[in-house]
Amino acid sequence: DIVMTQTALSSPVALGQPASISCRSSQSLVHSDGNTYLSWLQQRPGQPPRLLIYKVSNRFSGVPDRFSGSGAGTDFTLKISRVEAEDVGIYYCAQATQFPRTFGQGTKLEIK
């Protein structure tokens, strides 16, 4: 199985400041079709997960452009250019390159 490992944010983030979350996979996420099926999900308190980014760097419909994704192979990053109060929650990376699908353990974003 592919293990997804996320970094924790070092401290609460001040409003308007940037935030960055890293995710590393135990093996390459490049699919045989050439795509890299790495997604980022946001889960606000008491809510179901919501897709933010798919295939490493594509913003899903309705996602603000302050969210961006980057990376390749086994190392990926989610960046929030300017944190807003509504961004509080837990962020998960997920791989959909092979079964079983696996998720990172989650990274909590708190506001200072």
Partner 1 sequence: QVRLAESGGGVVQPGRSLTLSCAASGFTFSSYGMHWVRQAPGKGLEWVAAIWYDGGKTHHADSVKGRFIISRDNSKNLLYLRMNNLRAEDTAVYYCTRDSHSVRFDYWGQGTLVAVSS
**Which of 20, 22, 35, 81 is the binder for partner 1 (CB under 8 A)?**
35
Burial of 52 (0-12, 13-18, 19+ CB in 10 A): buried
First to last CA, the chain: 36
Q: Report residue 103: phi and psi, to 5°.
A: -120, 150
**Which of 19, 39, 67, 71 is the binder for partner 1 (CB under 8 A)?**
39
For the bound state, the minimum distance from the C-beta of residue 50 to partner 1, rounded and expressed in Å, comes to 7
**Which of 9, 30, 51, 111 is the binder for partner 1 (CB under 8 A)?**
51
Q: Which CB atom, from 82 or from 108, has the smaller least distance to partner 1?
A: 108
93, 3 Cβ separation under 8 angstroms:
no
Site residues (vs partner 1, CB under 8 A): 35, 37, 39, 41, 48-51, 54-55, 58, 60, 90, 92, 94, 96, 99-106
